[in-house]
């Protein structure tokens, strides 16, 4: 007999080609499935969100099935020894068999870290941006994203989804030490959505686009840009169920 478990994991996305398993590429899902196989557990890992290459996670949620004889503390320790040091299982618990980490999620939050100081030691973990940021302007701009919209113009071209309608509940821009951190909470996000939003905001900061332009693209009246900000500053922060 088998049971389903939920695990909360964190990972350094700079070492992988994203969350989702891909042929001949090192991915988080792929590495965890390999680790499970080493423990004679043949299970497909489900995940709450398909983060891109270079994107990090503080609290990604996954699920998989295990034989009933496993002790969860021992399983967590054994898996962490194999997947160390760039993936870490923070918590693991039993869950109902019909649980799906993606479709059962109610809310997700992301953060994007921008730094005015370049450091080669932090280059994979924050986005270097050498222009002065007009915090008040960007706080006003990011609030425009709050609400329910068809975000097709803020999604990667070629995204395979049934619809582009998503709700963003809360946004914020925080100054922390010398960094600027964007925070966005929503019911779900499209591929590339946070990075396209971030790039648009930085273009507003540079007076290359305006808040009116943002509203037009949000309303699908005009497409100005779908360029993505770099992945290294982006973190999947938390998922609510």
3-class DSSP assignment, residue 65: strand
- Output the CA–CA distances (angstroms, integers) from residue 52 to 193, 215, 235, 238, in the order listed: 11, 26, 10, 16
Whether the CB-CB separation of 168 and 146 falls below 8 Å is answered with yes
- Quote the tokens at residue 147: 């609400």
Whether the CB-CB separation of 191 and 150 falls below 8 Å is answered with no
pLDDT digits (tens, 9 = 90+) for 144-202: 999 999 999 999 987 778 899 999 999 999 999 999 999 999 999 999 999 999 999 99
Average pLDDT, the chain: 97
Buried b or exposed e, range 126-155, using 16+ CB within 10 angstroms: bbebeeebeeebbeebbebbeeebebbbbb
Q: For position 2, what pLDDT does the model report?
A: 95
Residue 241 assigned as binding residue? no
Same domain, yes or no, for 82 and 152?
no
Q: Output the domain CATH number for residue 53.
A: 3.30.70.580
3-class DSSP assignment, residue 200: helix
Q: For position 17, what pLDDT does the model report?
A: 97
Same domain, yes or no, for 206 and 117?
yes
pLDDT over 80 at 96, yes or no: yes
Q: For position 217, what pLDDT does the model report?
A: 98
Task: Report pTM.
Answer: 0.95
Whether the CB-CB separation of 234 and 197 falls below 8 Å is answered with no
Helix axes 135-142, 193-205, angle to 10 degrees: 140
Q: Does 157 reside within a domain? A: yes
Number of domains the chain contains: 2
Whether the CB-CB separation of 9 and 60 falls below 8 Å is answered with yes
Of 44, 69, 95, which one is at a domain's C-terminal end? 95
Q: Is 124 a catalytic residue?
A: no
Same domain, yes or no, for 81 and 149?
no
Catalytic residue among 52, 71, 98, 124: 52
Of 95, 128, 146, which one is at a domain's C-terminal end? 95
Same domain, yes or no, for 157 and 191?
yes
Q: Does 102 reside within a domain? A: no
Same domain, yes or no, for 120 and 233?
yes
Same domain, yes or no, for 41 and 19?
yes
Q: For position 162, what pLDDT does the model report?
A: 87
DSSP-assigned letter for residue 154: G
Per the structure, the complete domain to which residue 90 belongs is given by 2-95
Number of C-alpha atoms within 13 angstroms, CB side, residue 197?
29
pLDDT digits (tens, 9 = 90+) for 23-45: 999 999 999 999 999 999 999 99
């Amino acid at each position: 007999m088998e049971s389903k478990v939920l695990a909360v994991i964190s990972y350094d996305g700079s070492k992988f080609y994203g969350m989702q398993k891909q042929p001949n590429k090192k991915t988080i899902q792929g590495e965890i499935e390999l680790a499970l196989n080493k423990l004679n557990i043949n299970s497909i890992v489900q995940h709450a969100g398909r983060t891109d290459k270079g994107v990090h996670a503080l609290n990604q949620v996954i699920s998989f099935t295990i034989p009933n004889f496993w002790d969860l503390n021992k399983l967590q320790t054994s898996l962490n020894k194999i997947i160390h040091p760039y993936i870490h299982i923070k918590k693991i618990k039993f869950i109902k068999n019909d649980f799906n980490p993606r479709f059962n999620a109610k809310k997700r939050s992301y953060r994007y870290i921008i730094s005015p100081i370049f450091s080669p030691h932090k280059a994979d973990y924050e986005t270097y941006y050498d222009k002065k940021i007009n915090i008040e302007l960007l706080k006003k701009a990011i609030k425009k994203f709050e609400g329910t919209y068809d975000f097709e113009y803020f999604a990667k071209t070629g995204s395979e989804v049934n619809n582009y309608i998503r709700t963003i509940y809360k946004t914020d821009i925080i100054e922390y030490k010398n960094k600027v951190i964007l925070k966005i909470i929503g019911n779900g996000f499209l591929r590339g959505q946070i990075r396209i939003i971030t790039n648009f905001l930085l273009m507003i900061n540079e007076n290359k686009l305006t808040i009116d332009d943002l509203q037009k693209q949000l309303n699908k009246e005009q497409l100005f840009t779908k360029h993505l900000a770099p992945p290294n500053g982006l973190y999947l922060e938390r998922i609510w169920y």
